[in-house]
Amino acid sequence: MQNPEVTFQDAYARTVDVGNTIASEDESDADVWDVADGMLAGAIQFWLYSRQPCGDPLCEDCIALSTSATRMAELRKLIEHFTTESDYFHTPLDQDVGRA
């Protein structure tokens, strides 16, 4: 099995590449917001697919994924983490940035 960090970085980089490719295709005048929304919907679909509980009610690996509410809580934690880690989360044009 591949190193999890390598797998993560590969999936991350390839996802960004797909977005850049769709947004820059010659005949495409796709709005980057539409591209991003579609990619996010697809990523969530794949994440939910990957997090189906195994069916054993005593499985400790699946406790946090055993209901739709707990899966949503896990997904929100990841969204919060990846959002705050992003270089694009804060911008100089944010309305809550102080200006002297």
Interacting residue ranges for Zn ion, rule: CB under 5 A: 54, 59, 61-62
Least spacing, CB of residue 61 vs Zn ion, in Å: 5
Nearest residue (CB) to Zn ion, 61 versus 87: 61
Tokens representing residue 57 in the block: 């009610």
Indicate the helix (H) or strand (E) that contains 48. Answer: helix 32-50
Least spacing, CB of residue 65 vs Zn ion, in Å: 8
Tokens representing residue 56 in the block: 């054993």
Residues in the chain: 100
Nearest residue (CB) to Zn ion, 23 versus 62: 62
